[in-house]
Structure 1
Amino acid sequence: MQKTIFITGASTGLGKSTAKLFQSKGWQVIATMRNPEKETELTSLENVIVLPLDVTNSEQITETIKSITEKYSVDVVLNNAGYGLIGALESLSEIQIERQIVTNLFGVIRISKAFTPHFREKKSGTFINVTSTFGLIGFPTCSIYSATKFGVDGFSESLASELTQFGIQVKVVAPGGMKTDFAIRSMEVGQHQAYEKLTAEVSKGYSAEQLENYTKAEDVAQIIYEAATDNKNQLRYVAGNDANALYNERLKNGAEAQVQNIKAMFTF
């Protein structure tokens, strides 16, 4: 029987790569994005339905998911939509901070809440929530971004134990750096004169040269597919060599030691 995956943020990068992979594996894909009228690649694929959805619009979320669950039996929900807000806390406006939290955290919560009755009635279903290395490890200039990604991680861990009684799984995929245009397309950078040296140092990690060392979006999509199909009772999937190295260091040495090491790196 054909399975169905619902994806947010499917217009580019990891979302689009995941949509294409699941479609190639015979799944029906419901790919959502803010501006579907601009999409040409996914709309040409068999068994792919492209729909408008802005995860900051709670009313649209409710209406869209109600319509979908009335027509389709969804097996997997991939909460992928999000963007990066990078900068020292003093450099960020209240509007920027609120938008980041509403998109990256509230969006996941609202989508999950809207789909939970569908999964509960089916007595099956899987939520896969995309976080980040910075949802496991804090890093300078990432305070608000990490707040949202740590939030999604904690939300996912709690929800996993809440929904297990209904046969529902919740999983987290935490990628490190990816070879996409995320740093250009999906990142806001705050600037503050007092943090110029820090911001310049951290920004080296987003350079064109450094991006070449990161994991391909297609490889992270493979890990999402694994999480959706491996039938493992596993919560976290860390994706990418850099992400695994940092996370393994945290597990080996402890969170406190890693925090002190990172602070030492940026003591000017």
Structure 2
Amino acid sequence: MTDTILITGTSSGLGRATAKLFQARGWNVIATMRTPNRETELNQLQRVLVTRLDVQDVGSIQSAIDAGLARFGRIDAVVNNAAYGAYGPLEVTPLDKIRRQFDVNVIGLMAVTQALLPHFRAKRKGTIVNISSVGGRVAFPLGTLYHGTKFAVEGLSEALHYELAPLGIALKLVEPGTIATNFAGPSFDFSNDPPIAEYQGLVEALWKVMGPMMVEGSTPEQIAETVYAATTDGTDRLRYAAGEDAIQFLNNRRTTDDASFFSGMRAQFGIGA
């Protein structure tokens, strides 16, 4: 029988590229997004069901799973991709943005996973792929919210991979580096109002450092190949760096002591002692 994958956040970027890749390689795809009525491409592909799923709406999660099972009869894997990045000085970030960042990137991911576990447990088989980030292993200044959520995804995934292995359920973490063109796009939410003078030098430095990184980053299609490999390799491997920059950055972090690494980061962003 044809394997089926459910992917969250397929309206653009990595989620869309991943949906198209799995479909091209013969999988059934449940492509979920918050506004499926606007979709004009994925719903034209064979073996693809486009349906609504908002990770902040628990009812929509179960409805999407039910729709996928009704259409394809089974779900074999899930890619928890829906997420966004909130940056900016914590001091000026509204509490509702703080809550939304964790609701989408952490609570939503856990809610989708939790909803699929009974199906995977009954089959004694399933693969959960959580999209983390290099930013789940290393933090940049002004990324308190985003890095807080991605560090959380790393921790919960590591714990779950022990918990679920005896049930035949694999847990995978994909850690992309920068993805081209996403910086300052709809998946990026920057808070800086009112602008506090003491933070503005760091704000400017962040744009100068991260802007070129994003432009030169991997394409969504390149990262999707790593997602596919993680889903299908049949191993108990947990972490997959995705993109040449991610591989280099994480290798550098592993081989550098904290004091040296932090000193380098401070120098890069112009942060004095």
Distance apart, 1:258 and its partner CA:
2.0
Distance apart, 1:255 and its partner CA:
4.3
Query: Quick one: which of 253, 257, 262 aligns to 1:259?
Result: 262
Task: Tell me the TM-score normalized by structure 2.
Answer: 0.93
Report the equivalent of 2:225.
222
1:166 aligns with 2:167: yes
- Report the residue type matching 2:241 in the other structure: V
- What percent of counterpart residues are identical? 40
Q: Deviations over 1:156-179 (max 9, x none)?
A: 100000000011000000111111
Q: Which moved more, 1:213-222 or 1:238-247?
A: 238-247
- Distance of aligned partners of 1:111 and 1:255 in 2 relative to their CA distance in 1, 3 Å threshold: farther
Task: Structure 1: state its 5+ residue gaps.
Answer: none
Task: Tell me the TM-score normalized by structure 1.
Answer: 0.95
Report the equivalent of 1:45.
45
Distance 2:69 2:257 in 1: 43
Q: Which moved more, 1:14-23 or 1:228-237?
A: 228-237
Distance 1:186 1:205 in 2: 18
The within-5 A match list for 1:174-253 is 174-181=175-182, 183-191=184-192, 192-193=195-196, 194-207=198-211, 209-253=212-256
Instruction: Please tell me the root mean square deviation across aligned C-alpha atoms, in Å.
Output: 1.6
SS class of match (1:183): coil
Task: Structure 2: state its 5+ residue gaps.
Answer: none
Q: Deviations over 1:129-172 (max 9, x none)?
A: 00111111111011110111110111110000000001100000
Distance 2:39 2:9 in 1: 12
1:150 aligns with 2:151: yes
Report the equivalent of 1:108.
109
Distance 1:57 1:160 in 2: 25
Q: Deviations over 1:32-58 (max 9, x none)?
A: 000001110101111110001111112
- Report the residue type matching 1:231 in the other structure: G
Distance apart, 1:59 and its partner CA:
2.5
Runs (4+) of structure 1 exceeding 6 A deviation are none
SS class of match (2:255): helix
